[in-house]
Amino acid sequence: MLRRLYDWIMRLAESPKALWALFLVAFAESSFFPIPPDPMLVPMVLANRRRAFTFAAICTLASVLGGILGYFIGYGLEGLGTSILSFYGHPEAMAEFQKMFAEWGLWIILIKGLTPIPYKFVTIASGMAEFDLKIFIMASIATRGARFFLVASLLYVFGEPIRAFIEKRLTLVTTLFVVLVVGGFIALKYLF
């Protein structure tokens, strides 16, 4: 099953729909969707390395726009924001997060935007904390851009050996990715 999914994503990377699919996943992940765009970004770059930085730019733009949606969910639709945070198992963290924002603000966005801690938590909480929107957007561009361009750069430079490793050990790579995603949610639960 993993092999079929991987092969499908590799074929999708060459299709005209690839950019839209990547955009939608990156957008949704920043505000409500649980899966980050990396499972699409990595194989797409490996399938078409000359477009690595285009893919990274699309992930960055979509993630920032989705982050703005998440910000406004937290800012103007607090009930929905609380529901989303509750779904991810962390509704009670808002008071603690707002205290942290008062003290560390920008640093929280910069650090959490690069980690496996779900970014949607940061975007919604930033809106609830009424963090400065311009600073939020600039920090989101910096962190999300750094993350996606770092992944794309590494795959661009080391593409073929990494592709061979992934294709040879697809189950191991998938398991490690799932552990990272789940670990991000667990870290979120215990850090706040």
Tens of pLDDT, residues 20-49: 989 998 998 888 777 778 778 888 888 888
> Does the residue 32 lie in any domain?
no
Residue 11: domain span: 2-22+39-191
Helix axes 170-191, 133-168, angle to 10 degrees: 150
Residue 117 is classified by DSSP as S
> Does the residue 88 lie in any domain?
yes
> Does the residue 75 lie in any domain?
yes
Percent of the chain predicted with pLDDT > 90: 15
CA-based R_g, the chain, Å: 17
> Does the residue 100 lie in any domain?
yes
- CA pair distance 190, 91, nearest whole angstrom: 13
> Does the residue 27 lie in any domain?
no
**pLDDT interval class at 157 (50, 70, 90):** confident
Residue 113 has a pLDDT of: 62
Residue 127 has a pLDDT of: 87
**pLDDT interval class at 105 (50, 70, 90):** low
Residues 161-178: what's their mean pLDDT? 62
**pLDDT interval class at 58 (50, 70, 90):** very high
Residues 152-159: what's their mean pLDDT? 85
Which of 87 and 52 is assigned the larger pLDDT? 52
> Does the residue 14 lie in any domain?
yes
The residue among 185, 192, 187, 162 whose CA lies nearest residue 34 is 185
> Does the residue 34 lie in any domain?
no
> Does the residue 186 lie in any domain?
yes
Q: Quote the number of domains for the chain.
A: 1
Which of 151 and 187 is assigned the larger pLDDT? 151
For the cut 90, the answer to whether the pLDDT of residue 83 exceeds it is: no
- CA pair distance 69, 123, nearest whole angstrom: 8
Which of 116 and 51 is assigned the larger pLDDT? 51
